[in-house]
Amino acid sequence: MALRNILTDGEPTLMKTARPVTRFDHRLHDLLDDLADTMEEANGVGLAAPQVGVLRRVAVVCDGEEVIELVNPEIIAQSGEQSGPEGCLSVPGRYGIVTRPNVVRVRAQDREGHWFEVEGEELLARGFCHELEHLDGHLYTERVERYLTDEEIEEMMREEQ
């Protein structure tokens, strides 16, 4: 297990477009393992490679039980709408209301290069959208309708326990 340093808002790497993965080798496997470890250590539900300084199209998203590994992911279908609080490990301590599709279908490669499709609803759909935007150099803060107050954040944390 290896933890990587998470870049925070203001780092130029977070604003850059990540390159596609072409080699499904041990370096990719190490990156995926480290992303999952780093995400879990930080109590996050998703983490993208640019957030640890690697400009490759790789992300992990937790569906509540398992870690979904996404290599070269793209959204191929989306429907509905949801509005709710969103946070980011690169923007510590802040949460903002963001509107996202309610259902998202993603096509991606796994760590061996095999293509697969996965569908997410609600929180998982939000996670897919959020992490895929990191691969194009965008943060959720660009979409925030309003930030939560400290009282609202405390209430949200209580509800999650």
**Catalytically active residues, by annotation:** 131
Kindly tell me the burial class for residue 105, based on how many C-beta atoms sit within 10 Å of its own C-beta (0-12, 13-18, 19 or more): middle
Provide, rounded to whole angstroms, the least separation between the CB of residue 130 and Ni ion. Answer: 5
Provide, rounded to whole angstroms, the least separation between the CB of residue 118 and Ni ion. Answer: 19
Nearer to Ni ion, 52 or 88 (CB): 88
The CA-to-CA distance between both ends of the chain, in Å, stands at 27
Provide, rounded to whole angstroms, the least separation between the CB of residue 89 and Ni ion. Answer: 6
Residues in the chain: 161
67 binds Ni ion (CB under 5 A): no
Contacting range for Ni ion; rule: CB under 5 A; set: 8-16, 24-32, 80-88, 152-160? 80-88
88 binds Ni ion (CB under 5 A): yes
In this structure, what token pair is assigned to residue 153? 């954040």
Nearer to Ni ion, 9 or 25 (CB): 9
Contacting range for Ni ion; rule: CB under 5 A; set: 18-26, 32-40, 62-70, 83-91? 83-91
Kindly tell me the burial class for residue 100, based on how many C-beta atoms sit within 10 Å of its own C-beta (0-12, 13-18, 19 or more): buried
Provide, rounded to whole angstroms, the least separation between the CB of residue 73 and Ni ion. Answer: 14
In this structure, what token pair is assigned to residue 132? 């895929």
Nearer to Ni ion, 35 or 88 (CB): 88
* Pair 60, 68: CB distance under 8 Å: yes
In this structure, what token pair is assigned to residue 61? 């998203």
Q: Can you give the binding site for Ni ion, defined by CB under 5 A?
A: 88
